[in-house]
Amino acid sequence: MEPRPGEQRPRLSFVLLVVEGSHRGLLGALVGAAFRAFHGTSSMWDAQNAAGNGNLECINREFALSSPSQIAGRPAKTTGLGYWMHQVLKEGQHVSADFSADAVHDLRVALRRCRSMADGLRALDPIPEWKAMKKAGRQLFQRLGALRDVQVMMEWIEELEPAEANVQGAGVEQGSVKQAGTERALPSPGSAQALPAFSSPQEETPKNAEPGLAAQPGALRDPVAEALNKILAEREKEQKREARSALEEFDHKQWKNWADTLPPRAAHIRPGSPLFKNLALERWTEAHALHTRALRNRSQVALHTLRIAIKRFRYIVENFLPAEHQAWSKDLKEIQDSLGEIHDLDVLWATALSCRVFPDATSRNRWQARILAERNKRIAHYREKMVGPNSLWQVWRAGLPQGKQIQALATRRMKLWASSLDPDFAHSERVAKLSLELYDGLTRAGFFASGVTDSSNGTGRSSLQIAALLHDVGKSKGNKGHHKASLDLIKSHETPLGYKNEDMRRAAVVARFHCGALPTRSHKALRDLLPGEQKLTIQLAAVLRLANALDAEHDGHIRRVLVEKQRANGGRMPHPGCVVLDAEGYSARNHTARNVAAERHLLETVLRRPVMIKAMKNQAARIRP
């Protein structure tokens, strides 16, 4: 039986003594048979046995039961997108035999791994195939969910009913529950709120309830368990038919095509990259917020959504951060399993109530007490690990980006995303540099009032930087109307941690007006904004429009731009009433000058004064003010 990925394989140890003559062949046959029985292959043993080159001197040699590639000295790859996508196809063939609990579980694990990796990689590589693969996996995963729910409940009934265990002679200590697997299912949360979420055992246990379902050896099977099992067995048959239909409708050919084409794209991003740490921090932040909510409102739904969030965090760590996974994997699995088992027990209790399997109040209280006892163990384990200043939350947070690293990594993520869509991203980077130079210079010169530009928290500058970096992503859909496509793509892009949602929304509108029609307050992209927000957005669009014109030739010959300071009172200005921009590499006799002359109009309108661009003099000696 093949172990699940992540589990240690059983090991077969034996000692080979020095054997000569005809006995060598007999011993070789016997050990080879043992090796084949445990391993399922005899390639290595047969090769050594057939070599016939003298004695076998292998004292205390230990063989790990592994794949043929490991036997040959090459480590088997049991991680990565390619492995898990092919595992979906393999487990799909396996599960179709009988849709057993383990087979269904393994297929859902493989699907969940693929979907989680697609979710992480999609944030960095915006090709549509990631979304399509994730959607195909989700459809099959969900259609197998009801079957997995039923099978998990049947496993719990077997563990919670001691009369059955006594009859079978199972040596399981009362109150312990066997793990159903490395990954538990995610049953749908449509259950009755019969069990409190974060309460003490004294609060939850009914007053007249017995402490457990204690049964004497040889007792008859509990009627509640028998009735509930009968109902679930019928549901399992029905859900197996649904699962078979889902598997038949699953596009195996398309999945195989993705399995061949997507893993090479994933390989371009190095595991352990700081970009994945930034993504993991996003998942940590989401999960921690749900943890706080679950502690506050104590609902079953809150616990269920918290478990999903921790699972998403775990998969980013597991798939993309090998060093952190090695340090945190055990704790992450324990916490996820505890929350999963809490949800399993909630669903089991709600199902038992809805099926009306309790013949009297005594049996109902007995089952409730046992379920609550198991549930409270897991609640206590979660609180012990996850509440307090020394909780696992703080351990995980300490290993993720801090302070200024967060926004810097968020910017790198957006650059990587944009570079996959923008055919000339180097141009966009130059435009971003020129835009920020213009913005900073105009702010220092007093042309932008600090209250309007919101310089206290820098959101105006952040929005301008995002808009400049992403203003041409719409060209991935064609040059015509690309500024409108950029608006839609930026609006649909998730806000990376380190930026605010309003930064992204404003940046999308600013990028929309980097070319094309001039922005007006009545435009549909601006008319619903407050007057101050309208003014700020138009100012930023004016700066981006001029910066884009300064690199209209896409050759980078304009290397930097400075805003001349205003003279003090009494000082003479060569161009009174004008905003003078010194551009390094600028010439009034090329195509760039014509583009600048046209695109400076919006900035002149915003500043209510003419804008003059001239070549920077003494460029080597000039120092940025």
Q: List, in sequence order, the alpha helices (H) in 472-590.
A: 482-492, 501-512, 531-550
Q: Determine the residue type at 608.
A: R
220 or 438, greater pLDDT: 438
The DSSP code for 558 is -
pTM of the model: 0.73
The DSSP code for 14 is E
pLDDT at 162: 58
pLDDT higher than threshold 80 for residue 391: yes
Closest residue by Cα to residue 67 from 50, 51, 87: 87
Backbone angles phi, psi at 558, to 5 degrees: -90, 110
Residue recorded with tokens 């600048």: 596
pLDDT higher than threshold 50 for residue 14: no
What average pLDDT does the segment 204-232 reach? Answer: 63
pLDDT higher than threshold 90 for residue 455: no
* SS3 state at 44: helix
pLDDT higher than threshold 50 for residue 443: yes
Residue range 345-373, pLDDT digits in tens = 999 999 999 999 999 999 999 999 999 99
The pairing of beta strand 11-16 with beta strand 611-615: unpaired
C-beta separation of 290 from 94 below 8 A = no
Instruction: Tally Cβ neighbours within 10 Å of residue 421.
Output: 19
- Residue 287's pLDDT band, with cuts at 50, 70 and 90, is very high
Task: Say which range, 541-555, 561-575, 603-617, has the weakest mean pLDDT.
Answer: 561-575
C-beta separation of 302 from 197 below 8 A = yes
Task: Say which range, 83-92, 423-432, 458-467, 530-539, has the weakest mean pLDDT.
Answer: 458-467
Q: Is 53 exposed, middle or buried (0-12, 13-18, 19+ CB in 10 A)?
A: exposed
Q: Determine the residue type at 420.
A: S
Q: Which domains does the chain have, with CATH numbers?
A: 11-71 (no CATH), 81-398 (1.40.20), 404-559 (1.10.3210.10)
In angstroms, the CA 442 to CA 453 distance is 11
pLDDT at 270: 84
pLDDT higher than threshold 80 for residue 614: yes
Helix axis angle for 274-297 and 300-320, nearest 10°, is: 170
In angstroms, the CA 274 to CA 225 distance is 51
- Residue 587's pLDDT band, with cuts at 50, 70 and 90, is confident
Task: Say which range, 422-436, 542-556, 576-590, has the weakest mean pLDDT.
Answer: 576-590
Closest residue by Cα to residue 515 from 543, 548, 490, 540: 548
Give the pair of three-digit tokens for residue 71: 């036997």
Residue 60: enclosing H or E segment and its boundaries?
A: strand 58-64
